[in-house]
Amino acid sequence: MSPPATSQRYPSPSQPSGKSEVSDLKSQLRQLAGSRAPGVDDSKRDLFKKVISYMTIGIDVSSVFGEMVMCSATSDIVLKKMCYLYVGNYAKGNPDLSLLTINFLQRDCKDEDPMIRGLALRSLCSLRVPNLVEYLVGPLGSGLKDNNSYVRTIAVTGVLKLYHISASTCIDADFPATLKSLMLHDSDAQVVANCLSALQEIWSLEASHSEEACREKDSLLSKPVIYYFLNRIKEFNEWAQCLILELAVKYVPSDSNDIFDIMNLLEDRLQHANGAVVLATVKVFLQLTLSMTDVHQQVYERIKSPLLTLVSSGSPEQSYAILSHLHLLVVRAPFIFAADYKHFYCQYNEPSYVKKLKLEMLTAVANESNTYEIVTELCEYAANVDIPIARESIRAVGKIALQQYDVNAIVDRLLQFLEMEKDYVTAETLVLVKDLLRKYPQWSHDCISVVGGISSKNIQEPKGKAALIWMLGEYAQDMSDAPYILENLIENWEEEHSAEVRLHLLTAAMKCFFKRAPETQKALGTALAAGIADFHQDVHDRALFYYRVLQYDVHVAERVVSPPKQAVSVFADTQSSEIKDRIFDEFNSLSVIYQKPSYMFTDKEHRGPFEFSDELGNIPITPEASSDIVPAQQFEANDKDLLLSTDEKDDNKGLINNNGSAYTAPSYESSSNTITSQMQELAISGPATSTTTPQSSFGFDDLFGLGVSTAPAPTPSPPLLKLNPRAALDPSAFQQKWRQLPISLTQDYSVNPQGIVALTVPQSLIKHMQNHSIHCIASGGQSPNFKFFFFAQKESEPSNYLAECIINSSSAKAQIKLKADEQSTSQAFATVFESALSKFGMP
């Protein structure tokens, strides 16, 4: 569809303005409409082309709708196609006129020529006019049974179009069932593929309110269906292959033989020239082997070469898409790619978005054996004419220095940058040297001698200047003229435009003063006076604060402003490992390109049909809920594989780095444990202490998480299940389990009115369930629909229960889906869950 000609931003002289031409066309079309003269089709073709070309450039030609329909009585297929295109474009805006077209379209649906039948059916379904749906059912029904596969492929997609215009009409006509049978029996691969995509879309949308659709959706992932597709995958074209592979990603294999069968079946897909097929295959391989550490690593080795070939064989755009995925894998498992670092060298003619990715990859793979070469290469880029890339390269050198144990050589190289005397190089380098010194104070002497030689006049960029000033303050005792440089800078206070620099100047003057008071006193006075008079609020406040604290007691001031420093062991990582894992789960999607999980850039319904892995992500984890998640983030670091969890990798890095410095932080694990248990206590004791009424004994009972005694037990009481009140499960493990386990139980409950009232604060349910040892891992939604994901663990053994709980507060109904490691005990857990829920809101 073309946008109407409301605004034409970039008019070109060849494009007509509209009105008179359109009315001209109208009269010409009218003349031809009734004519049967020879050659009339050719004249019609010319006119139709004009209409379509106006439509394309955005001129509104809807006013000739009637004439176009009149002219459509023709056997010329090219004319018909143009007419269909036109009608499809304007029907929605002209529902009354659309009725005119129904007749001829319906007639064409019965044409002898399958081509015309198909085209007419496609146009009929593309009208998108709700009150015309009654005319669709008949032609669609016969289209699905047509003996020509072209017509059938169009009819299948037509069903999906109908569903989007009127879901009820589509369901009532039982079309999904027909599609399912076509999908499993039709001889034409494209018909089958279209059935699959249509059913995925329909069932995913239906699943939110139909139990049956939910089951049907799951049935697509059953072993027979998956193998039905995988065994004949080569009969499908490359695009349909991607569809099938996307489906296979969600299949839960029954055992390791199953896994190897699938991988052997798909092995040759890795040699496909189409990058989309290869990436979809890679995703299947990675997901299938998540729980098999060795094989998972072999998969990485196996896919490396095909991905590198794709990077170098496609257009820059295609390379970028593949490289983004390679980037993800490299950052996840740098050691596997350490020997391939030369592939990530930048080529001089590559677009900067590619170079940026490559620089990050080089940073990631740098280790003891290749650092020298990588840093040498990066130093070449630092002199590059492409300034943003030069800057990135310098930063990359710095990052490598920060992550290496032996940085001796790198520091030298960084210091050489300063000798290049290029503004931006110096500025970037100073920032890095500053960070390096914060981590490796032992290098200060080498750095200081070079930094001391830099004239602050040559640095224009605030970040670089601020870094230099910081070093002047911090190492005032080692740089003989530090007070004088600072004094100079302070004298030019008025000319310093950056507040950041002025703030640093204040602090540096203070630090310098504590170390070399006689030389700095005057400059500090000037700085404080200028700072207090500064129009910038922060600068003013800091100056005043310094002034007052100095007045109060100089020693206190020194302890505040310049306390003994501990080396920084790890700089904060910008992305949490949970997010990284989520992106990995969304491999082969835009999440990898944007380096964000999908919930951060798409709304729920567009996250892609059939995204099981998204179910958890659909729910924005609210800050309140996240405090409840804390216990869940506790995990055992030692038995996890590097590939499987970025959490652990980061931890290790932290620990290793700690060894290198004097300062040893308490390990993450123990600290998070402490926090965890504190949180747990808080959460548990909270409700109990707050209920001061005599009924508080109920709350106390609940503390033990059994609470069945007071519940009205509608079901015969199953064996009592004891749950671990301190169960822990991290979100990614939850997500993985949720994806892999089958639903063992689905139940509907009524929620009592008190519960519904209490639900106005959804957090209260989370607290309440936690008192029953059922922990919330994510929650979301808005009145009247709330969604919670819970988990629980058996008291005695690490056997997990997962539950999805959807509560509709207006109907007071709750729907629970349970998954369990041990299927046999899921009924027992359901009873505990129900009993806990039934007491929600009760005093």
Q: What secondary structure, in 3-state letters, does 298-349 show? A: HHHHHHHHHHHHHHHHCCHHHHHHHHHHHHHHHHHCHHHHHHHHHHHCCCCC
If binding is defined by CB under 8 A, does position 49 make contact with another protein? yes
589 binds another protein (CB under 8 A): yes
Strand, helix or coil for residue 165:
helix
Is position 647 an interface residue for another protein (rule: CB under 8 A)?
no
By the rule CB under 8 A, 339 interacts with another protein: yes
Cα–Cα distance, 736 to 788 (Å, whole number): 17
Footprint (CB under 8 A) of another protein, residues 83-102: 85, 92
In order, the DSSP letters of 8-67 are -SS--TTS--SHHHHHHHHHHHHHHHT---TTHHHHHHHHHHHHHHHHHHT---GGGHHH
Minimum separation from the CB atom of position 398 to another protein (A):
16
- Among 102, 150, 205, 676, which residue sits at the site for another protein (rule: CB under 8 A)? 150
Closest distance of CB 154 from another protein, Å: 7
Gap between the Cα atoms of 32 and 45, Å rounded: 11
Do residues 89 and 34 make contact, with C-beta atoms less than 8 angstroms apart? no
Structure token pair of residue 419: 């000798």
Residue 335 engages another protein in binding (rule: CB under 8 A): no
Q: Which of residues 693-712 bind another protein (CB under 8 A)?
A: none
If one asks whether residue 343 binds another protein (CB under 8 A), the answer comes out as yes
Taking CA 399 as the corner, what is the angle to CA 398 and CA 404, rounded to the nearest 5 degrees? 100
Selected range binding another protein among 56-64, 217-225, 555-563, 628-636, rule: CB under 8 A: 56-64
Q: Is 232 in the site for another protein (CB under 8 A)?
A: no
Write out the binding residues for another protein, residues 67-86 only, by CB under 8 A.
Answer: 77-78, 81-82, 85
CB of 581 to another protein, least distance (A): 17
**Residue 34 is a binding residue for another protein (CB under 8 A):** no
State whether residue 479 is helix, strand or coil: coil
Minimum Å gap between C-beta 12 and another protein is 6
212 or 380, CB closer to another protein? 380
CB-nearer residue toward another protein: 49 or 565: 49
The span from the CA of 163 to the CA of 171, in Å, is: 8
C-alpha angle 507-512-513 in degrees, rounded to nearest 5: 95
Q: Single out the residue of 514, 460, 526, 516 nearest to residue 487, CA to CA.
A: 526
Q: Does 602 bind another protein (CB under 8 A)?
A: yes
285 CB-side CA count, 13 A: 25
Tell me if 348 contacts another protein by CB under 8 A.
yes
Closest separation between CB of residue 590 and another protein, Å? 5
494: number of Cβ within 10 Å: 8
**Cα separation, 170 vs 172, whole angstroms:** 6
* Site residues (CB under 8 A) for another protein, limited to 125-144: 128
Phi, psi of 68 (to 5 degrees): -60, -45
Q: In the window 421-450, what residues touch another protein (CB under 8 A)?
A: 421
Which residue, 495 or 603, is less far from another protein as judged by CB? 603
Closer to another protein at the Cβ: 304 or 542? 304
Q: Is the Cβ of residue 279 or residue 509 nearer to another protein in the bound state?
A: 279
Minimum distance between the CB of residue 54 and another protein, rounded to whole angstroms?
A: 11
Binding to another protein (CB under 8 A) within 798-837 occurs at none
Nearer to another protein, 11 or 742 (CB): 11
Rounded Cα–Cα distance for residues 136 and 132 (Å): 7
Among 122, 434, 511, 768, the residue binding another protein under the rule CB under 8 A is 122
Cβ neighbours for 255, distance < 8 A, ≥ 6 positions apart:
none
**What part of residues 283-312 is at the interface with another protein (CB under 8 A)?**
305-306, 308-310, 312
Q: Which one of 148-156, 207-215, 397-405, 543-551 is the stretch in contact with another protein (CB under 8 A)?
A: 148-156
Q: Which of residues 238-267 bind another protein (CB under 8 A)?
A: 238-239, 242-243, 246
* Smallest distance from another protein to CB 373, Å: 9
Q: Which of 30, 272, 640, 767 binds another protein (CB under 8 A)?
A: 272
Q: Which residues contact 388 (CB under 8 A, 6 or more apart)?
A: 352
SS3 787: strand
When binding is defined by CB under 8 A, the residue of 17, 271, 566, 811 that contacts another protein is 271
Asked if 149 touches another protein (CB under 8 A), the answer is: no
Pick the closer one to another protein by CB: 248 or 524.
248
Shortest Cβ 531–another protein spacing (Å): 32
276 sits near another protein (criterion: CB under 8 A):
yes
Q: Are 247 and 226 in contact (CB under 8 A)?
A: yes
Candidates 818, 685, 743; CA nearest to 219 is: 743
Rg (CA), the chain: 34
Give the shortest CB-617-to-another protein separation in angstroms. 10
Enumerate residues 366-425 that contact another protein by CB under 8 A: 380, 383, 385, 388, 391-392, 419-421
Q: Which of 139, 275, 631, 705 binds another protein (CB under 8 A)?
A: 275
- In the complex with another protein, the residue whose CB is nearer, 56 or 750, is 56
* Residue 239 CB neighbours (<10 A): 13
Element (H, E) at 361: helix 352-365
Among 24, 42, 317, 636, binds another protein (CB under 8 A): 317
What is the dihedral sign for C-alpha 256, 260, 265, 271?
positive
Tell whether residue 766 is a contact of another protein (CB under 8 A). no
Minimum distance of another protein from residue 782's CB (angstroms): 19
Binder to another protein among 72, 190, 287, 770 (CB under 8 A)? Answer: 190
Does position 233 bind another protein by CB under 8 A?
no
**In Å, what is the CA distance from 632 to each residue of 465, 503, 646, 791?**
44, 41, 16, 10
Q: How many residues bind another protein (CB under 8 A)?
A: 105
Q: Does 720 bind another protein (CB under 8 A)?
A: no
Instruction: Report in angstroms how near the CB of residue 789 gets to another protein at its nearest.
Output: 20
> Judged by CB under 8 A, which stretch of 6-14, 573-581, 673-681, 709-717 contacts another protein?
6-14
Which residue blocks in 691-730 are alpha helix, DSSP H? Answer: 696-703
Give whole-number Cα distances, 251 to 128, 244, 586, in Å: 35, 11, 15
241 residue type, one letter:
Q
SS3 label, residue 490: helix
Which residues, at least 6 apart from 324, have a Cβ–Cβ distance to it below 8 Å?
A: 357, 592, 593
